[in-house]
Every structure is written in structure tokens, then in C-alpha cells.
Structure 1
């Protein structure tokens, strides 16, 4: 574990609940805190940590991936994403996890992560569409 990787992991561990960072967001944050970690190192590190199961890689309808600490059950959660406002709502649903475990077991898999991302348009986004 390099000092850069430790710093990246520490940043994710200390994020407020519900906050997700892209590699670029993380780079900007670390730069503001006086850290000199290249963007390419951040990309490699978040990809590695996602493959290891430390981080969750999320598609939040913004054209790039976001990351968060991979919380084990019962802290497991899913995302509802507005494509107009980029609002992200986290929600828990134990039935989603139960279904994923059942499907995985049927095929001999062990569940490492289960993500449900619902893409839609929030009430604010709908007002934007209909008032333009």
C-alpha cells in the first residue's frame, strides 16, 4: 500500500454518506488539500480498488464513473439518478439483494456486489422539461 493509495482510500473512507467522487473530483479535492497525486495514478488506483471490492464503481448518468466505499450488507444501497439534474438518491431494498443472491446461487456464483441504478427524471427535472 503506497502513501498515495492510502491517501485515496482515506479520502473515500471520510466522505459524507451519499457522496460519490469521480476520478477527476478526487484529483481536484486532493490537489486542493496540497496532495500531488497525478490523475493517471488516481485512475489506476480507483480501478484497482474497485476490482478488489474496496470501492464500488457507479454509472450515474453523467458520462463518467463515480466511486464510493463498498459497504457490506446491511449498509448496502442502490441509486436513483435524474438525467436532467444529476440528482442522486440512495435507497435500501433488501429484496434486490435477495434476488441477486438467488440468481447468483442458481448459477454457482458468489455475490460480491449488487447494484441497482434506476435512471429517471426527478420532479425538478420534469419541471425543467415542461417549463422550457
Structure 2
């Protein structure tokens, strides 16, 4: 974890920002709960356990800054709640998600599935792609197994 925090600190310094204690507490929660796709409010409650003096507005500002600096990705799975996902170290692009419409589980796909699509978009439309997001909505393996066993 300390290695990742040092790298994030360097990212912030490169953009003339500091890793304040409040920002560090937020980053630590994001690293510890990386698989959870937490909302700002959920992050705030977890950060508050580490830094009781922190306010919700500070957490929001920190998340927005980290999003602008591409340390985290702000995502919405169609439920009206913005969630925050720590960008993997060295990742050029946002990773993809599989969202189960039955149980709400979220799985991540780390492979970049859109390299060829990006090339087509850039060539045929003259559009310079900076990033992309791909989310599949469907039924996960576990829910499919339950559906089969109950029919």
C-alpha cells in the first residue's frame, strides 16, 4: 500500500498538489476497498473512522481532484449514484465492468477490449480518443445458476 501511496503522492506533486493528511486518508480507503466501487458518502464514512475531523465537503473535493488528475475514475452504473474506482497503476485507460441486473454484483475486466475500436474511431471520424468506458449489463454466472436450478 505504501508504494501506491508514494506513487499517488508523486502524481499530485507533478500537478503542484500536496498529499494532505485528509487526501491521504481518502486514498487509503480507496486502496483498502478497491473492489467495492464506493460512493462519496460511503468513502466519507470510512475516512471519518481514520480522521474524525474530516468533513464530507473535503472528501468530495478530494475525490473530484483525484478524478481530474486521473488517479480515480468517477463512474455511474445506472443507479444514479456516482462511485469512485481507483485507476490501476500504469493503466492508460479506464477498465471495464460487468454489472449483474439481478444481484447488483460488479466484476472488473482489466483487459483493454477497445484498442481496435479506438483506432477505427480515430481513423474514420478523426476523433482523438483520450479514454473510454465499457459497461456490460446482464446476468452473472451465479444468478444464471440459481435461475437454472429453480426452473
TM-score by length of 2: 0.66
Cα gap change, 1:10 to 1:108, in 2 (>3 Å):
same
Match of 2:126? 107
Q: CA deviation at 1:41?
A: 1.4
Match of 2:48? 31
Which structure dedicates a bigger proportion of its chain to helix?
2
Q: CA deviation at 1:23?
A: 0.4
Larger radius of gyration: 2
Unaligned residue ranges in structure 1 (runs of 5+): none
User: Relative contact order (C-alpha < 8 Å, sep 6+): which is higher?
Assistant: 1
**What do residues 15-71 of structure 1 show as CA deviations (whole Å, max 9, x unaligned)?**
355332110110111123343221121112111211111111111233201112112
> How many residue pairs were aligned?
128
The equivalent position to 2:136 in structure 1, one of 93, 115, 118, is 118
Query: Do the aligned residues in 2 keep the contact of 1:30 with 1:36 (CA within 8 Å)?
Result: no
Match of 1:3? 21
Q: What CA RMSD, in Å, does the superposition of the two structures yield over aligned residues? A: 2.9
Find the residue that maps to 1:18 and give its secondary structure.
Answer: helix
Match of 1:52? 69
Distance 1:104 1:26 in 2: 37
Moved over 6 A (4+): none
TM-score by length of 1: 0.74
Unaligned residue ranges in structure 2 (runs of 5+): 1-17
Match of 1:96? 114
Moved more, 48-57 or 99-108: 99-108
Find the residue that maps to 2:57 and give its secondary structure.
Answer: helix
